[in-house]
């Protein structure tokens, strides 16, 4: 596990942002264009002298052109290799969590094949449930607080509603499906039942009730 994490960290440090790669590649192509321009401008006009200096300059420009071409090719290979490594990381990012989850699946298979009473089966399922909760905590997954909490639409999904004189603001009174966070990001909201304060009777309705009483 440690080797996988270290390899992932090394790859993430090597891999460049795609925008940075594009900018670097463009800069190198501009450099090659400048070399080509220098080569063109160094050609002597008809009747010009100083052949030794011009020949030396042409050799230097040819060397620069060759090195620029090889550097650009090396960069292109590096970019392709980084992209392949990034795709591999994305493809196998769940390798460790799934490997740990297989243990829970194995225990479920054992529980299903075990012979025993309903109470024995219940105890086995409870043990597996605790194992699953511990596994989730190890990977940074925590439960969303629900029952007794003020209703928060960013964390709770209200599927039913009731009026209650015991609350002064919308409050979660039952949890129908547990919600979870991964570190500070919401995995899924909690599915809840919400109690709200009773609505005050309208003046017209109140007047009608008084008239009926009279």
* pLDDT confidence of residue 120: 82
- Assign residue 148 the CATH number of its domain: 2.30.22.10
* pLDDT confidence of residue 153: 94
Same domain, 82 and 157: no
Same domain, 88 and 153: no
* pLDDT confidence of residue 172: 96
* pLDDT confidence of residue 108: 87
What are the start-end ranges of the H helices in 15-115? 18-41, 51-91, 95-113
- Whether 136 is in a domain gets the answer no
Look at residues 93, 126, 151 and tell me which one is the last residue of a structural domain: 93
- Whether 148 is in a domain gets the answer yes
- Whether 186 is in a domain gets the answer yes
Same domain, 8 and 89: yes
**DSSP label at 193?**
E
Same domain, 89 and 159: no
Phi and psi at residue 173, in whole multiples of 5°?
-115, -10
Phi and psi at residue 117, in whole multiples of 5°?
-80, 170
CA 173 to chain centre: 32
- Whether 100 is in a domain gets the answer no
Q: Collapse the DSSP code of 149 into the 3-class scheme (helix H, G, I; strand E, B; otherwise coil) and give the result.
A: coil
Neighbours of 195 (CB within 10 A): 19
Phi and psi at residue 20, in whole multiples of 5°?
-65, -40
- Whether 107 is in a domain gets the answer no
- Whether 7 is in a domain gets the answer yes
* pLDDT confidence of residue 96: 86
Same domain, 15 and 88: yes
Average pLDDT along the chain, 214 residues, taken 10 residues at a time: 44 48 63 61 52 80 84 87 88 86 89 82 89 92 94 95 93 95 94 90 46 40
Number of structural domains found in the chain: 2
Look at residues 60, 93, 126 and tell me which one is the last residue of a structural domain: 93
* pLDDT confidence of residue 131: 92
* pLDDT confidence of residue 182: 93
Same domain, 213 and 151: yes
* pLDDT confidence of residue 90: 85
- Whether 103 is in a domain gets the answer no
Q: What is the span of the domain harbouring residue 11?
A: 2-43+50-93
- Whether 106 is in a domain gets the answer no
């Amino acid at each position: 596990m440690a080797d996988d994490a270290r390899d992932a960290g090394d790859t993430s440090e090597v891999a460049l942002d795609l925008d940075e790669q594009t900018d670097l590649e463009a800069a190198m192509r501009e450099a090659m264009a400048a070399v080509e321009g220098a080569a063109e401008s160094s050609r002597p006009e008809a009747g010009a002298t100083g052949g030794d200096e011009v020949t030396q300059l042409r050799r230097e420009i040819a060397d620069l052109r060759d090195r620029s071409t090889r550097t650009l090719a090396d960069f292109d290979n590096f970019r392709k290799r980084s992209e392949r490594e990034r795709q591999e990381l994305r493809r196998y990012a769940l390798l460790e969590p799934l490997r740990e989850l297989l243990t829970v699946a194995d225990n479920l298979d054992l529980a299903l094949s075990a012979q025993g009473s309903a109470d024995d089966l219940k105890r086995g399922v409870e043990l597996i449930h605790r194992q699953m909760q511990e596994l989730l905590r190890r990977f940074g997954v925590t439960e969303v607080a629900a029952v007794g909490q003020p209703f928060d639409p960013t964390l709770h999904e209200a599927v039913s509603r009731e009026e209650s004189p015991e609350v002064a603001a919308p409050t979660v009174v039952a949890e129908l499906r547990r919600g979870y966070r991964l570190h500070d990001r919401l995995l899924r909201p909690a599915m809840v039942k919400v109690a709200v304060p009773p609505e005050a009777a309208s003046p017209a309705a109140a007047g009608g009730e008084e008239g009926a009483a009279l």
